[in-house]
Structure 1
Amino acid sequence: MEKHVVVIYPHPDDESFGAAGTIAKFREEGVPVTYLCGTLGEMGRNMGSPTFANRETLPEIRKRELIKACEVLDIKLEMLGYRDKTIEFENRMQIAKHIKDYLEQIKPSLVITHYPDYAVHPDHNALGAAAIEAVRLMDSENRPTVWAQAISKDFPEVLGEPDIVNDITANFDKKFEAILAHESQAMGVLGQQRKRNPEIDSIKEAAKLNLGMERFYIWRYEE
């Protein structure tokens, strides 16, 4: 059993769409989980469906949604305070040292983050790279295992089969509840899931088909 799991993603809702089923399974097992969230997603384009947010109100709305989703998942939240869509321009080593400080305090046995260059969004790639660097900077005997999540369309062909494939069907209700907590974002993304499977009437069932497996690669460090 894991001692403590730290999830590191850049945006509110990355945890819910990306790893909420895996997180819920760890919490069922009694494993503490902490989410280090990079930004408030304040530059996101989704403003609710129908629209209820605007550029000025979105940061506070997304912060409230993030807190609610973490309550649903029963995980501790730490906000890193970076600005949405700018992480790639930050000093990566400074971010890595910032994350390392958290990891040395929490002492997790497992870190979950994005796989650099195969996570679609520049913030995903940049924060994933910084998180992996943060673990590399730790003393080798104290390093947690890193699970890196790739989400680009070509990742299986380039990277091969993932090391960890979690069927989270049993925890999908919790994942879906966490997704819906991100009210300003949920329907925009879930609508895309529905379009991929128009023959399925239920948005939830379409989402389960597309989001019911969570896949990760174990990051291997060279000594």
Structure 2
Amino acid sequence: MRRLLAVHAHPDDESSKGAGTLARYAAEGAQVTVVSCTGGESGDVLTQGFALRHRASRDMAGLRRVEMAAAQAALGIDHVWLGYVDSGLPDPGDPLRPLSFATIPVEVSGRALVRLIRRLRPQVVTTYDETGGYPHPDHIRCHEVTMWAVEHAASGLPELGEPWRVEKVYVDRSMSGQRLRALIAALEASDPDDARLPDMRGWSERIGDRGATITARVDIAAHLEARDAALRAHASQVEPDSPFFFWPHELLRGAWPTDDYELVRGAGQGGGTEDDLFEGVEEA
């Protein structure tokens, strides 16, 4: 059986980064598991007019768990909480929340992920790069913990279970400049007078060549609806008219119907761009 483990910082990250990939592999019969390193309890309600704002003020952690369960069902995947507290995103110079995920030494929180990797035995792991995708302390720590755990799951630490070697590790490259330019070109071709194009072109200039190191493109054209349902499940975090829903499905399917990744650990096969994260993997 093919087994994929996606390591994310907060509930909702799994739906905004690579959700189509998760839905696709789950639909194809792979064992797909998301681990959320934190509970998202330091987050705020980001949706105007959110109906359950009173519940969020009373029990944000509980609300985020309910939303995560709905997203899990939409994607058809398994889910595990690593159990750490959301560090929040303080202003520059302000301290992180005490005893939160980003304040815990990597070799401490990494042990929990080693135990999980050895239990689930994934051939493929996905996460963020060393920048976290954006400079949230939990995203950066998520990368650090994932890479530490993958290395240490392969040997040593016998008290954490039988060793397991992850064959391939990918980092998310969904926010690439080349993807954005391709989508803008498709929008220009379909409606050159679209009033949103100037903003899109400005965004493209700011993003530049970010994410240029794509080595794998996973076709998710058949799973965009599942991705959207998972995003909407995080109703306290994702507006109904969020930029996540900006591009029509038909435009995406024609211009850029993939989730994109960079292989950072393990051997690529054939030297070209992969279309399957499990390429070259031995199923067991």
> 2:272 maps to what in 1?
none
> 2:76 maps to what in 1?
74
| Displacement after TM superposition at 1:166 (Å) | 2.4
Give the TM-score, by structure 2 length. Answer: 0.66
Q: Once structures 1 and 2 are overlaid, which stretch shifts more, 133-142 or 35-44?
A: 133-142
In the superposition, relative to structure 1, how do residues 176 and 205 fare at CA in structure 2: closer, same or farther (>3 Å)?
same
Q: Is the 8 A contact 2:102 2:138 kept in 1?
A: yes
Q: Given the alignment of the two structures, is residue 104 of structure 1 paired with residue 126 of structure 2, yes or no?
A: no
> 2:105 maps to what in 1?
91
Measured in 2, the distance between the counterparts of 1:136 and 1:181 equals 34
Unaligned 5+ segments in structure 1 are 195-202
Structure 2 letter corresponding to 1:146: V
> 2:151 maps to what in 1?
136
Larger-gyration structure (1/2): 2
1:1-223 superposed matches below 5 A:
3-51=2-50, 52-53=52-53, 54-85=56-87, 86-120=100-134, 121-139=136-154, 142-150=165-173, 157=209, 160-187=212-239, 190-193=241-244, 203=246, 205=248, 213-220=258-265
Unaligned 5+ segments in structure 2 are 88-99, 156-163, 178-206, 267-284
Give the TM-score, by structure 1 length. Answer: 0.82
Structure 2 letter corresponding to 1:166: V
| Displacement after TM superposition at 1:56 (Å) | 2.8
> 1:199 maps to what in 2?
none
Query: Whose helix fraction is larger, Structure 1's or Structure 2's?
Result: 1
Q: Is the 8 A contact 1:10 1:127 kept in 2?
A: yes
Task: Report 1 or 2 for greater relative contact order, CA contacts < 8 Å, sequence distance ≥ 6.
Answer: 1
Aligned residues: 212
Structure 1 letter corresponding to 2:264: W
Q: Is the 8 A contact 1:112 1:148 kept in 2?
A: yes
Q: Is the 8 A contact 2:175 2:210 kept in 1?
A: no
Structure 2 letter corresponding to 1:90: I
In the superposition, relative to structure 1, how do residues 193 and 211 fare at CA in structure 2: closer, same or farther (>3 Å)?
farther
- Percent identity between the aligned chains? 23
Measured in 2, the distance between the counterparts of 1:20 and 1:143 equals 21
Q: Once structures 1 and 2 are overlaid, which stretch shifts more, 39-48 or 63-72?
A: 39-48
In the superposition, relative to structure 1, how do residues 187 and 211 fare at CA in structure 2: closer, same or farther (>3 Å)?
farther
Structure 2 letter corresponding to 1:10: A
SS in 2 for 1:55: helix
SS in 1 for 2:248: helix
| Displacement after TM superposition at 1:191 (Å) | 2.6
Structure 1 letter corresponding to 2:106: R
Measured in 1, the distance between the counterparts of 2:237 and 2:229 equals 13
> 1:197 maps to what in 2?
none
Q: Is the 8 A contact 1:100 1:134 kept in 2?
A: yes
In the superposition, relative to structure 1, how do residues 60 and 118 fare at CA in structure 2: closer, same or farther (>3 Å)?
closer
| Displacement after TM superposition at 1:169 (Å) | 2.5
CA-atom RMSD, angstroms?
2.9
